[in-house]
Chain A
Amino acid sequence: MSALETNTMPDRAAALPGPRVGGIDTRDVHAWFDRHHVLHGITLTIAPRQVTSIIGPSGCGKSTFLRCLNRMHELVPGARVGGQILLDGGDIYGPGVDPVLVRRRVGMVFQKPNPFPTMSIYDNVAAGLRLGGDRGGATLDEIVERSLRAAALWDEVKDRLEKPGTSLSGGQQQRLCIARALAVSPEVLLMDEPCSALDPAATLRIEELARQLAGDITIVIVTHNMQQAARVSDVTGFFLNGELVELGVTDQIFTRPKDKRTEDYITGRFG
């Protein structure tokens, strides 16, 4: 945990991919929408197999930052990214790096549950593998079951896997989307305000799930809800106006923030 006291880890050999544990280092990351400069040099470390939450007021760039981590930001016409993002030591923006392969290692769950409307529950989970992933020797059935179990959805859907994914409740749909993301075995799972469309009970289940998953993969969760960040994360980063104000152990951020602006935000003085 000592590395977290400063905002960066010691330099690693960028060109040499390390073991695949899902650690992320960002170095001076900038992002633009056309001329609009939304991230002003974010440098931080996301520890592997932990839950890192990113909080901040609307428009602070936290979702944009998240979308830079799996190269989704560049899909918006006119969007650009600068700087380096190292996934286990390899720069995902390096020359010749295929964004498709980056996204298989860094999965994503969105604000609103978005299961594929034409597909059954089973096919939703299998989609990533059927359309390009690596099954690692396991059969599709095994992976679908394993993913649905990991997303704490298996017991609720095992008897109706052929039903449309959209027939589930909102909370179940979101867990289906998590299962779908897990099926391609990512090292990192990004969650972009995954509970903002859900009721409190469903929210709680997603939070528990994030805690459980952190045993195996790295979770980065963007949230508007400070209580959620406090409940779910090991490390919390506070963003403001496209800059990282403070990153630290969640406990410390919420009890003894170092920066005055962090304190103002978490005590509700703005935002």
Chain B
Amino acid sequence: MIAAGPAYRRRKIINAIMSAATALCTIAVLVPLFVILLFLIRQGAGSINREFFTHLPGAAGEPGGGMANAIAGSLVLIGLAGVIGVPVGVLGGVFLSEYPGSKFGHVVRLMADVMNGMPSIVMGLFAYTVLVLPMRHFSALAGGVALGVMLIPTVMRTTEEIVRLVPQSIREASLALGIPQWKTMVRIVLPTAAGGIVTGIMVGLARIAGETAPLLFTAFGNRFWNWNLLQPIAALPLQVFSYAIAPYDDWHRQAWAGALVLVAMILVINVTARSFAARQVNLP
């Protein structure tokens, strides 16, 4: 029998303290999330009904109406952002991973990291300057560009990391078969990395889905349906913002409902991303 000395008891005590500390920190992370979710559901769930998803906003101060155009507008804006951000991000990421040592690559990587940390309102200003001012009116396009530019660095850096994770031995196997470099990339390396890249794209989309600041003076918001990309368009975060600061109780309730729908959308995107992550090929 091995004697349990004082050193052993001391170790047990420290172990107990540290285990408790890590558990507490975990709870501290989870509590705000659940409090927000519960609060959102309590305040917003009551206003969520068929009308909310199918109707346009009602007139000021009048009860009823929905956010159908804002939900559709948000989807249009996310789609536009994807069309702009995904190709640039993926191709840029492939470049960075294939030519890791190049000077240009270093500059691009640095710029992407700076862009990643840039306040989102600056992206809005950028789109406002290059699109809204010359065109002389707000537009869905400008909003999509603002969000798309925000998406680029996230997608680019994730793609770079994931493509770099594909083992050199896989590329060598392909090149040694007499498969040209571009086909090796497109047909062998990218499919191997696809799950991870799609996950990166989804996470990036989830991030921009809730952005409000870049849309304030680009997409601008719209109380009516709009499918013209060159005209202002509604967006959930914008609608939530303008309802939340309005003086009507019914609008406040609708703002909560809008926030709840927005969080649910982001949750769905994130969960979908998880399922793609699970499908990522296990790299040797």
Contact = CB atoms under 8 A, between A and B. Distances in A.
Interface of A: 70, 72, 75, 77, 100-105, 107-108, 110, 112, 114-118, 127-128, 131-133, 166, 177, 180-181, 184
Given A112-B284, A116-B170, A131-B184, 10 more contacts: A100-B178, A100-B179, A108-B172, A114-B173, A117-B283, A127-B179, A127-B187, A128-B178, A131-B187, A133-B177
A108 B178 CA distance: 10
Interface of B: 101, 167, 169-170, 172-180, 183-184, 187-188, 191-192, 194, 281-284
A116 B176 contact: no
B176 A132 contact: no
What 5 A-B pairs have minimum CB-CB distances, sorted nearest first? A104-B178, A128-B177, A108-B176, A103-B178, A114-B169
Nearest to B194: A118
Nearest to A132: B179
B173 A132 contact: no
Given A110-B169, A131-B183, A132-B183, A118 B191 contact: yes
Contacts of B176: 70, 72, 103, 107-108, 110, 181
27 contacts: A70-B176, A72-B176, A75-B175, A77-B101, A100-B178, A100-B180, A103-B175, A105-B178, A107-B176, A108-B176, A112-B169, A114-B170, A114-B284, A115-B173, A116-B174, A117-B170, A117-B284, A118-B192, A118-B194, A127-B174, A127-B177, A131-B183, A131-B184, A131-B188, A177-B173, A180-B177, A184-B178
A112 B173 CA distance: 11
Contact of A110 (B172, B183, B281): B172
Contact of B177 (A77, A103, A118, A166): A103
Contacts of B101: 77
Contacts of B284: 112, 114, 117, 166
A75 B172 contact: yes
Contacts of A114: 167, 169-170, 172-173, 284
Nearest to A164: B281
Chain B CB within 10 A, most for which of A70, A77, A115, A117: A117
Contacts of A107: 176-177
Contacts of B180: 100, 131-132
B173 A110 contact: yes
Contacts of A100: 178-180
Given A77-B101, A131-B183, A104 B177 contact: yes
